[in-house]
Structure formats: structure tokens, C-alpha cells
């Protein structure tokens, strides 16, 4: 799955597995801090409420194999997951749109461990330009294209209102961004070869709301 | 799938379908505004970049059947999806933790259409208590339990730092909250019968980052 250069090869990893790996990583770090040396699928299952078989399958994707009766060495498992996720490489990103959500993302502590570093943000509002959030500068949107090119930034995060999202995406792509994380409530079009991930908060709520309806209708 | 009371019955809907339905709903609203009367899987596919077969399957879950050569009537499809999602009922929620993310959620315009209404927020910081965000009051955290009970609120949104998340969840559950949407970067434990959905922003980033690695390794 991961070849000798640590590059990701073609065996498809289910997205739910990818989303759970950071949850294991986070929990394993806590075990490390507590000085716990070994863990098992059963113990992980109790702590994280995933099925043991699911955990075994998820971890197998990273290439690690548990030892019978012993389970996994915490340190080895943690390192294997982090290598697998590529969290030892830093992913530098620019963020555009310093509203509440943009500010929340810039201040989010959880990104440190997963190797995402928002190195600067951009906004159109002169009151925001020149300020700092979490130690990162807010720059004028006019400088976005040029800085992407000069700094060879590959990841762009969009937190502008819907009406401006496509325009920001176009500037990003034109200057070399290869992956866009879009939080604006509209879908943006990108050419082939550019990855876009839409975060639709209302969609997430739908899942919760539907489960609640179902649970209430059972009572 | 939806019985005569509009209640959700037991046929399981895949979560990815549930997450796409609001995307169709959003796009269909735009078609309505433009005066478009009919649409088809092919047309939806071009606009939204999902496969036509996927779209057909997703829409079939709502109970609607497309007409040969005509497709779907936009108005009927929109209403069917909204009924199916229960977006005609309002879901009232309390939010705890008025930081950047909490403020972003309170100001998020996309919730209107999906029937989520955050009717009040709670915080421990006296500078925030008494203020208003997007027309909604910020109240003292001490009032949370009592107000959940009195107003029979079922949904709680947690946007506090990780260390306080479990404590807030416990107060919520003790007073009758049945569904928790947790944005804090820790997993919280809930008793059986209570639904919890963890939003892990770092997990979402992992998916994007992995796709980017894969795409770069192909070049």
C-alpha cells in the first residue's frame, strides 16, 4: 500500500477508514502520554466505540500486523499510522476569507498533529488586512495569486461567501493550487487534475437529524 | 420508506446518500428560481458531477420515480426531498461554546433551509453572556440544564474546548437532549438511546491530503 519511498500506491482505501485513522492516532497519542505500551483491537473498541473487526481492517491498511495475545505496540502503531497518513510531511496551505469560520480554522489546534499548516490568510476587507490570527498574517486578496506561485503552495482553503467562491478558486488554480478545501455553501468547478473537497455543514446535520427522527419514531 | 405520517421507517439509507440529498435540494432551489420546470439525472450529473446512476439511486430513496423522456418535475422533486429530509419540521437546538467556531455556526446561513434553528447559545465567559449573535442570545452556561428541560430541546451542539466537552454533554443528556453534534476535538461518551455525531475537521483534511498525495505521485 505504501511503497518504499513512503508514497501512496494505488490500492484504494475506503474513505471511512481514512476518516477513522486520525481518531486512532489521536487516542494512541494519549496512551503514549500515559505510558501505556500495548493495546489491542478490543481495548481500542471499548475506548472508541468502533467494532473490533472494523479496527483490525482499518489498521491493516497501514501495513501493520498485530501480534497474537499481545496486540499492537502503541509507539509502533502510532508511527505507522502517522507515516501512512503522510503527517510527517507538512502540508502548507493558504486560506481565503477571514470570517468566523476562516478564523475558527486558523485557530484550530487539531491541525498541528495532522500536518496541515495554514501559513497565511487573505481577505478583501481592509480592516482585516494586516492583522494576525494565531500568529499568521492576513494579507490583501490581491496578493493571493502571486504568493501561491512564488511559494509553490498546493492547498487552498476557501471560506468566503458563496458568491465569491468560484472566483477565488479560479485564481488559486490559475496559479498552481492542486487541492481545494471548500467550505463555501456552493459547489465549485475545477479542471481535471485539481482535487476539490466540499465541506457541506448542512449535509452533516442531515445525517444527525435523520438518526434523531428514526430514534424518536421508535419510542 | 416514509410512511403516511412522514415518519421515517426502517429501510436503511446509506449515509453518503443522506449527505448528497441536501446538495440536490440546494441545486433544485436554484433551478426553481430560474423558472426551470423539468430536470433529469443527466442534467443533474453535469451540474453536480455525480454519476447519473448514483443520482437515480439516491433519488429513488425518497420514493420519487422519474418519467421516461421527461425526467423529474423540479417542484415535485424538491418537495419530495424536503419532506423526506424532514426539513419542513424545525429542529431547535442549543449551542454551547461561543468561540470562533460556535459563532460561525450561529451565523451560518445554510442551516435555514435544512430546518436547524439554533435558538440560543451558552458560554462561561461573562464578556460573552448577554450579547447577541445573528439575533440569538448568549446565556450563562449555568442556565443550560434548566432551559433544556423547560423548552424540551432535543439537539445540543458542542463547540467548547476538548477538556469541557464531556461535562457539557453530561449536563445536556441529564436534562433530556437526545442528539449531540460534537465539534470538540475529543470523543464523548453517551448512554444508549442518545445519538452523538463527532465532526472531526482533521479527519476531513486527511481525505483531501491523501488524494493530493496520490495525484502528485502520478505526475
pLDDT of residue B170: 98
Separation CA B23–CA B27 (nearest Å): 6
Q: In terms of DSSP H, where are the helices of chain A?
A: 15-34, 41-48, 52-60, 74-85, 100-107, 144-151, 162-174, 201-218
**Which residues is B67 bridged to in the sheet?**
B71
**Closest by CA position to B161, among listed B81, B119, B101:** B101
How many Cβ atoms from other residues are within 10 Å of residue B94's Cβ?
A: 24
Name the CATH topology of A91-202: Rossmann fold (3.40.50)
Number of residues written out for chain A: 219
**Which residues is B195 bridged to in the sheet?**
B179
Query: Considering CB atoms only, which of A197, A209, A210 is closest to B207?
Result: A197
Q: Give the model confidence (pLDDT) of A113-149 as tens digits.
A: 777 899 999 999 999 999 999 899 999 999 999 999 9
**Closest by CA position to A94, among listed A52, A147, A134, A130:** A147
Break chain A into its structural domains and give their ranges.
Answer: 15-85, 91-202
Q: Give the model confidence (pLDDT) of A151-180 as tens digits.
A: 999 999 999 998 999 999 999 999 999 999
- Residue A107 clears pLDDT 90, i.e. is over it: no
Residues 8 to 27 of B: which have CB under 8 A from any A CB? 8-10, 13, 15, 18-23, 26-27
pLDDT of residue A8: 42
Residues 160 to 199 of A: which have CB under 8 A from any B CB? 178-179, 181, 185, 187, 193, 195, 197, 199
pLDDT band at A219 (very low <50, low <70, confident <90, very high): low
Q: Give Cα A171 distance to the centre of its chain.
A: 22
- Residue B90 clears pLDDT 90, i.e. is over it: no
Which of A203, A211, A214, A217 has the highest number of chain B CBs within 10 A, making it the mutation to test binding with B? A203
Right CATH for A15-85 from 1.10.10.10, 3.30.360.10, 3.30.70.2740, 3.30.930.10: 1.10.10.10
CB contact under 8 A, B213 and A26: no
| Residue B133 exposure: Cα atoms within 13 Å on the Cβ side | 25
Separation CA B182–CA B197 (nearest Å): 6
Separation CA B30–CA B32 (nearest Å): 5
pLDDT band at B4 (very low <50, low <70, confident <90, very high): very low
How many Cβ atoms from other residues are within 10 Å of residue B199's Cβ?
A: 20
CA closest to A214 among chain B residues: B8
pLDDT of residue B3: 35
Name the CATH topology of B91-200: Rossmann fold (3.40.50)
Phi, psi torsion values for B169, nearest 5 degrees: -60, -40
Contacts of B192-195 with CB under 8 Å at 24 or more apart are B193/A215, B195/A208, B195/A211, B195/A212, B195/A215
Q: What is the DSSP letter of B2?
A: B
Provide the 3-class DSSP secondary structure of residue A150. Answer: helix
The rounded mean pLDDT for chain B is 87
Separation CA B44–CA A200 (nearest Å): 18
- Residue A76 clears pLDDT 80, i.e. is over it: yes
- Across residues B137-151, what is the average pLDDT? 95
- Residue A150 clears pLDDT 60, i.e. is over it: yes
pLDDT band at B179 (very low <50, low <70, confident <90, very high): very high
**Closest by CA position to A10, among listed B64, B128, B210:** B210
Q: How much is the ipTM here?
A: 0.70
A28-42, B82-96, B115-129, B164-178: lowest mean pLDDT where? B82-96
Amino acid at each position: 500500500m505504501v511503497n518504499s519511498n513512503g508514497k501512496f500506491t494505488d490500492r484504494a482505501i475506503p474513505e471511512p477508514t481514512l476518516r477513522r485513522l486520525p481518531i486512532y492516532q489521536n487516542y494512541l497519542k494519549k496512551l503514549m502520554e500515559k505510558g501505556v505500551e500495548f493495546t489491542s483491537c478490543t481495548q481500542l473498541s471499548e475506548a472508541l466505540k468502533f467494532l473490533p473487526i472494523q479496527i483490525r481492517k482499518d489498521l491493516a491498511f497501514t501495513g501493520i500486523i498485530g501480534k497474537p495475545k499481545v496486540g499492537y505496540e502503541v509507539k509502533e502503531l502510532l508511527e505507522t499510522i502517522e507515516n501512512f497518513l503522510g503527517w510527517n510531511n507538512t502540508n502548507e496551505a493558504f486560506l481565503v476569507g477571514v470570517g468566523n469560520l476562516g478564523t475558527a480554522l486558523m485557530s484550530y489546534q487539531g491541525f498541528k498533529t495532522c500536518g496541515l499548516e495554514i501559513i497565511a490568510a487573505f481577505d478583501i476587507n481592509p480592516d482585516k488586512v494586516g492583522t494576525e490570527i494565531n500568529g499568521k498574517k492576513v494579507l490583501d486578496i490581491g496578493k493571493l495569486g502571486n504568493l501561491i506561485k512564488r511559494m509553490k503552495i498546493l492547498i487552498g482553503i476557501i471560506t468566503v461567501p458563496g458568491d465569491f467562491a468560484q472566483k477565488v478558486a479560479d485564481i488559486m488554480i490559475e496559479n498552481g493550487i492542486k487541492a481545494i478545501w471548500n467550505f463555501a455553501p456552493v459547489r465549485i468547478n475545477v479542471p481535471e487534475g485539481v482535487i476539490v473537497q466540499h465541506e457541506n455543514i448542512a449535509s452533516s446535520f442531515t445525517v444527525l437529524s435523520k438518526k434523531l427522527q428514526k430514534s424518536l419514531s421508535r419510542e
